Amino acid sequence: MTDNNAFHLDIRDDGIAVITIDVPGERMNTLKDSFADEVGRLMNRLEDNNELKGVVFISGKPDSFIAGADINMINDCETAADTESLARKGQAMFDRIEQLNVPVVAAIHGACLGGGLELA
């Protein structure tokens, strides 16, 4: 993945996938609508890997996991339908993670709020 990505996947030799969340240029990780395609590609790789034994989500930030949804993204919603669509996209991502056929854990150090807590 490129350095502009927020999610970095490392599949170790023991079959454990470590996903590091590190939003570029931000002091804290927040969840953004713009991550949908990136997370979709990452999930495809995990779902297609028959050797996968487990997944661990970690933060690349030293003292926080995920502070929740990006407030600017929420402020950009102009209608109730916009907000509902945004929430459904986020829930679809969490559903895909939940449906993986391997254990999934979050290694949390520091703040974990809102969508970060949902992910955990």
pLDDT per position as a tens digit, 39-79:
999 999 999 999 999 999 999 999 999 998 888 888 888 99
Task: Say what percent of the chain tops pLDDT 90.
Answer: 69
Number of domains observed in the structure of the chain: 1
Indicate whether 22 belongs to any domain.
yes
Query: Domain residues for 67?
Result: 7-119
Q: Is residue 78 part of a domain?
A: yes
Assigned domain for 95 exists: yes
CATH of residue 46: 3.90.226.10
Name the pTM for this structure.
Answer: 0.90
CA dist 50 and 54 (Å) reads 11
Q: Is 57 exposed, middle or buried (0-12, 13-18, 19+ CB in 10 A)?
A: buried
The pLDDT of residue 74 is: 83
Half-sphere exposure of 104 (CA within 13 A, CB side): 16
Give domain status of residue 91, yes or no. Answer: yes
Predicted local confidence at residue 86, as pLDDT: 86
Query: Stretch 69-93: mean pLDDT, rounded?
Result: 88
Structural domain includes residue 2 = no
pLDDT at 75: 86
